[in-house]
């Protein structure tokens, strides 16, 4: 056994006391990161195959600029390892690495090895990390040829043992039953007035029950329970560099600039340094309310971005991977001189190779940590096409990892290089050999058009509401309905309110200002939400769309559909409030959001009731594609038990390029009523005058989207008391209706 006492750095003699009498030895640990064994040894392992030397740096305090000790690590294959024990070493120890090796980059060849032992690097596998931002890491421009440290004292890694924490558990929800709500931790609670100021915009603030709007309605987590969603998709909560906003005085608000893929974002903690415990408390709070928790994960690029030229010299953000294993982590252009850029952020992570490559292990280790230690129930993969590009088995290497086999996997199936609308549903891939689902951008685009009378494609509309999704050429994208994540809005674009508030000159966002008609805006929002929640497939709602949240106070219309940098580093709420949810809108009060509606309460209850309908019976959340039957006439006598669980189109206009007018019956399974949904894309009213042909009972009017609050939706628990539809039903333009019958 090789044991030796540490050799301390001379410049650290005044602060050595905390690390006195520390011993080190070679580690046989195979896991990356820092791990404490049963004998109190802390094992450190880092991947750096091309380094000449890697050293472990220990720091006495959180803000120290210089390490108290530097310990040379020993190479083992492609890894560098060491284990240490002694006074001051263990849970809570601050540490970093330095690496020495070749530098083969220049202003004309920016991709390549760029080792520099003067830079302090945090651990890419750190379970806990101080907040990472550019100004806390570098006191000056980080030129790749610096010969002195410019470390600013922040972003250190911290030894952490998850085994001592209680586990938040899991919530098991079948994919077909999901109703997903996309949200941002900070946005959601930052403006809830009866929440203690220290908890606004934090993990604990989001976990707190009993919060109210100014008008006394539910807010915070209780709002989600009342709304009825059963899964939240948290925008990025891994540690990221907020100083990537590209505008003076602004932060990157959304969080898609990850620096540390195993550590939670530190600045969302209500108490500094308590982010891990508070995040676990948040997840447990959701689970106790039977709400699953999904993470938005960003494995396609990192916060290091790509190098840049300043004063004719090359600079790079040495946070971790660039200084340890740059050429093994990022993808070069074909000439090996530049970073490949299909993400738009400058440094695509490479997954082009076999399953043993480091980046694939890194990704799966990260997913396993979040699933196993935090109880995360599923993941949404940003620009997931990057994970599959050039890989012989697509993203199946993620799907096959047994450590998180119970997790839902949702893909954003595109990047700047192209779109893969049938993600994991083409070639040899389908529902039988993977569990991937995908966001459907074409659903978003086409239902927005539908609400503006601009789709005029009956075939496409049918395909979307049946849950088939759509590829770029209009063919089905899904092999099962639950593999389609239907959305009309998401963080990356306009809110639903803003879709009906703005004109979209180039057509890229399918927005129309409704000719300034506020009532039409109301009706179109309700129509879009109604289509979303009566379509087969998994619906996803953007935070606040259910009561008319707007981003229209952004400085320009262009900003309103891309608010990633609307967070002020100086506390300017004119900037912050663009993204922070105005809960007064739920009360119908738009005094603080002049571009918002005064009917937020109506929108909320409309959405709540639609979700309730979706959860009450099985009609709109089928496991398999529903069979079409046309035996539905003759007073319903041909629509008996043989049609249970199937559907019929009982009225439609021609597919001739005119706005769609369509009535579909979803025949209930045994013990369920029959439900008819009538959609009108046209700006004119239309009437169905033979309803009696399609039920032996009476059709009741359950919902009419153009009606106002308390009149637009009947009682789900007592639907037989709803008004009779009679034999005819007239729909207002750009509206929908839902009828219900027991067919007896």
Residues 266-317: pLDDT tens digits? Answer: 999 999 999 999 999 999 999 999 999 999 999 999 999 999 999 999 999 9
C-alpha to C-alpha distance for 400 and 395, rounded to whole angstroms: 9
Residue pair 83/29 in contact by the 8 Å Cβ criterion = yes
Cα 310 from chain centroid?
A: 34
pTM exceeds 0.75: yes
Helix axes 358-374, 321-329, angle to 10 degrees: 120
pLDDT of residue 639: 67
Please tell me the distance from the alpha carbon of residue 422 to that of residue 468, in angstroms, as a whole number: 10
Render pLDDT for 153-185 as a digit per residue (tens, 0 to 9).
Answer: 999 999 999 999 999 999 999 999 999 999 999
Better-predicted residue by pLDDT, 705 or 507: 705
Tell me the pairing of strands 418-419 and 414-415: antiparallel
pLDDT per residue as tens digits for the range 539-595: 999 999 999 999 999 999 999 999 999 999 999 999 999 999 999 999 999 999 999
Distance from C-alpha of 120 to C-alpha of 151, rounded to nearest angstrom: 7
Is the pLDDT confidence value at 143 over 60? Answer: yes
18 band by pLDDT with thresholds 50, 70 and 90: low
Residues contacting 448, CB < 8 A, separation 6+ = 488, 499, 509, 510, 511, 528
- What pLDDT does residue 473 have? 85
Question: What is the DSSP secondary-structure string of 258-295?
Answer: EEEEEEE-GGG-SSTT-HHHHHHHHHHHHHHTT-EEEE
Q: How far apart are CA 233 and CA 198, in angstroms?
A: 24
Which CATH superfamily is 4-164 part of?
Immunoglobulins (2.60.40.10)
Task: Please state whether beta strands 313-315 and 258-264 pair in parallel, antiparallel, or not at all (unpaired).
Answer: unpaired
Residue 14 has pLDDT above 50, yes or no: no
Q: Pick the residue with more confidence: 416 or 227?
A: 227
Confidence at residue 13, expressed as pLDDT on a 0 to 100 scale: 30
Residue 595 burial (10 A CB sphere; 0-12, 13-18, 19+): middle
Cβ(34)–Cβ(158) below 8 Å: no
pLDDT band at 20 (very low <50, low <70, confident <90, very high): low
What confidence tier does 17 reach under pLDDT thresholds 50, 70, 90? very low
CA angle 733, 735, 736 (to 5 degrees): 135
d(CA 484, CA 529): 16
In this prediction, residue 654 carries a pLDDT of: 80
Beta strand 436-439 with 484-487: parallel, antiparallel or unpaired?
A: parallel
What does DSSP say about strands 292-297 and 308-310: parallel, antiparallel, or unpaired? unpaired
Burial class (CB in 10 A: 0-12, 13-18, 19+), 215: middle
What is the C-alpha to C-alpha distance for residues 539 and 486, in angstroms, rounded to an integer?
A: 5
Higher confidence at residue 138 or residue 18? 138
* Per-chain mean pLDDT for the chain: 94
CB 484 within 8 A of CB 438: yes
Percent of the chain with pLDDT over 90: 89
Q: Closest by alpha carbon to 86, among 62, 69, 102?
A: 69
Contact 359, 273 (CB under 8 A): no
What are the tokens at 513? Answer: 């200002």
Q: In this structure, what token pair is assigned to residue 331?
A: 């993808």
- Between CA 37 and CA 278 the distance in angstroms is 25
Contact 564, 184 (CB under 8 A): no
CA distances from 333 to 49, 111, 327, 337, 367 (A): 21, 9, 12, 6, 28
CA-nearest of 497, 500, 524 to 512 is 500
The pLDDT-based confidence of 4 (bands split at 50, 70, 90) is very low
Q: Which CATH number fits domain 628-741: 2.40.10.10, 2.60.40.1180, 3.20.20.70, 1.10.3720.10?
A: 2.60.40.1180
Report the distance separating Cα 742 and Cα 744, nearest Å: 5
Per the CB < 8 A criterion, the answer to whether 712 and 720 are in contact is: no
Question: Does the pLDDT at position 142 exceed 60?
Answer: yes
- 663-698 in b/e form (b: 16+ CB < 10 A) is bbbbbbeeebbbbbbbbbbbeeebebeebbbbbebb
From residue 581, how far is each of 204, 543, 620 by CA, in Å?
17, 8, 29
Q: Is the pLDDT of residue 524 over 80?
A: yes
The 8-class DSSP code of residue 37 comes to -
- Tell me the C-alpha distance between 395 and 418, whole Å: 16
> How much is the average pLDDT of 63-69?
97
Q: Where are the domains of the chain?
A: 4-164, 175-293+304-328+369-383+442-466+485-610, 628-741
724: which DSSP letter?
B
pLDDT given at position 635 = 64
Condensed to tens digits (0 to 9), the pLDDT of residues 426-472 reads 988 999 999 999 999 999 999 999 999 999 999 999 999 999 999 88
> Is the pLDDT reported for residue 352 higher than 50?
yes
Answer whether 91's CB lies under 8 Å from 41's CB.
no
Q: Which of 508, 520, 527, 580 shows the shortest CA–CA distance to 550?
A: 580
Phi/psi at 638 (nearest 5 deg)? Answer: -95, 10
pLDDT score, position 642: 76
Token pair belonging to 541: 């709602």
Kindly report the number of other CB atoms within 10 A of residue 47's CB atom.
21
Residue 574: which H helix or E strand, with range?
helix 573-576
One fold for both 4-164 and 175-293+304-328+369-383+442-466+485-610?
A: no
Residue 233 neighbours by CB distance under 10 Å: 27
Instruction: Give the least confident one: 4-18, 206-220, 586-600.
Output: 4-18
Q: In this predicted model, what pLDDT tens digit does every residue of 464-498 receive, in sequence order?
A: 999 999 988 888 999 999 999 999 999 999 999 99
Of all residues in the chain, the percent with pLDDT exceeding 70 is 96
d(CA 29, CA 649) in angstroms, rounded, equals 62
pLDDT, residue 655, reads 76
| The CATH homologous superfamily of the domain defined by 175-293+304-328+369-383+442-466+485-610 | Glycosidases (3.20.20.80)
Q: What digits encode the pLDDT tens for the residues 583-640? A: 999 999 999 999 999 999 999 999 999 999 999 999 999 999 999 998 777 666 666 6
Which residue in the block uniquely carries the two structure tokens 């949200």? 183
Note whether 243 and 252 are within 8 A (CB).
yes
State the burial class of residue 503 (Cβ atoms within 10 Å of its Cβ: 0-12, 13-18, 19+).
exposed
Q: 9 falls in which pLDDT band (50, 70, 90)? A: very low
Look up residue 174 and give its two tokens: 């079948």
């Amino acid at each position: 056994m090789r044991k030796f006492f540490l050799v301390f750095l001379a410049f650290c003699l005044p602060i050595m006391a905390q690390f006195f009498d520390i011993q080190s030895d070679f580690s046989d640990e195979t896991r990356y990161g820092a791990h404490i064994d049963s004998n109190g040894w802390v094992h450190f392992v880092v991947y750096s195959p091309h380094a000449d030397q890697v050293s472990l740096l220990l720091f006495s305090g959180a803000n120290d600029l210089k390490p108290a000790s530097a310990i040379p690590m020993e190479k083992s294959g492609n890894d560098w390892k060491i284990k240490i024990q002694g006074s001051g070493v263990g849970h809570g120890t601050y540490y970093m690495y330095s690496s020495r090796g070749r530098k083969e980059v220049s202003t004309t060849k920016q991709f390549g090895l760029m080792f520099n032992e003067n830079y302090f690097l945090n651990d890419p596998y750190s379970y806990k990390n101080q907040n990472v931002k550019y100004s806390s890491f570098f006191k000056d421009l980080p030129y790749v040829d610096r010969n002195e440290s410019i470390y600013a004292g922040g972003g250190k890694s911290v030894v952490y043992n998850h085994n001592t924490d209680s586990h938040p558990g899991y919530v098991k929800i079948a994919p077909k039953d999901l109703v997903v709500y996309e949200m941002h931790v900070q946005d959601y609670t930052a403006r809830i007035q009866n929440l203690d100021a220290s908890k606004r915009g934090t993990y604990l603030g989001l976990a707190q029950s009993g919060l109210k709007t100014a008008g006394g309605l539910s807010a915070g987590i209780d709002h989600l329970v009342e709304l009825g969603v059963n899964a939240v998709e948290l925008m990025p909560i891994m540690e990221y560099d907020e100083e990537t906003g590209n505008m003076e005085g602004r932060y990157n608000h959304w969080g898609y600039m990850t620096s540390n893929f195993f550590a939670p974002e530190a600045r969302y903690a209500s108490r500094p340094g308590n982010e891990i415990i508070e995040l676990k408390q948040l997840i447990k709070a959701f689970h106790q309310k039977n709400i699953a928790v999904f993470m938005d994960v960003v494995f396609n690029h990192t916060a290091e971005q790509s190098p840049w030229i300043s004063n004719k010299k090359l600079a790079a953000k040495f946070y971790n991977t660039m200084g340890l294993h740059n050429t093994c982590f990022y993808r070069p252009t074909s000439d090996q001189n530049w970073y490949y850029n299909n993400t738009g952020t400058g440094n695509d992570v490479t997954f082009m190779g076999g399953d043993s490559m480091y980046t694939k292990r890194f990704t799966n280790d990260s997913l396993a940590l979040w699933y196993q230690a935090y109880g995360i129930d599923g993941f949404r993969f940003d620009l997931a096409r990057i994970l599959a590009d050039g890989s012989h088995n697509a993203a199946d290497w993620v799907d096959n990892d047994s450590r998180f086999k119970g997790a839902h996997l949702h893909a954003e199936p595109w990047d700047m290089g192209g779109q893969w609308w049938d993600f994991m549903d083409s070639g040899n891939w389908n529902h039988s050999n993977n569990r991937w689902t995908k966001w459907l951008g074409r659903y978003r685009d086409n239902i927005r058009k539908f609400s503006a009378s601009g789709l005029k494609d009956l075939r496409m509309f049918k395909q979307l509401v049946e849950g088939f999704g759509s590829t770029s050429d209009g063919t089905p994208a899904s092999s099962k309905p639950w593999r389609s994540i239907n959305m009309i809005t998401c963080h990356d674009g306009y809110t639903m309110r803003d879709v009906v508030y703005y004109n979209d000159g180039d057509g890229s966002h399918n927005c129309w200002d409704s000719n300034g008609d506020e009532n039409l805006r109301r009706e179109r929002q309700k129509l879009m939400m109604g289509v979303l929640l009566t379509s087969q497939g998994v619906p996803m709602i953007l935070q606040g769309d259910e009561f008319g949240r707007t981003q229209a106070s952004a400085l320009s219309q262009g900003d309103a559909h891309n608010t990633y940098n609307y967070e002020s580093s100086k506390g300017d709420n004119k900037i912050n409030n663009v993204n922070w949810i105005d809960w007064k809108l739920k009360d119908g009060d738009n005094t603080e959001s002049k571009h918002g509606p005064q009917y937020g309460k109506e929108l909320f209850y409309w959405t709540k009731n639609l979700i309730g309908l979706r959860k009450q019976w099985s009609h709109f959340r089928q496991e398999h594609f529903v069979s079409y039957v046309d035996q539905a006439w003759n007073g319903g006598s041909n629509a008996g038990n043989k049609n249970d669980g199937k559907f019929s189109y009982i009225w439609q206009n021609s597919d001739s390029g005119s706005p769609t007018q369509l009535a579909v019956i979803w025949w209930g399974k045994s013990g369920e009523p029959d439900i008819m949904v009538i959609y009108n894309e046209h700006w004119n009213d239309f009437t169905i005058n033979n309803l009696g042909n399609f039920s032996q009972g009476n059709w009741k009017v359950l919902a009419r989207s153009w009606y106002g609050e308390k009149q637009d939706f009947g009682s789900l628990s007592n639907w037989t008391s709803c008004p009779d539809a009679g034999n005819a039903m007239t729909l207002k333009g750009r509206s929908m209706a839902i009828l219900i019958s027991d067919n007896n």
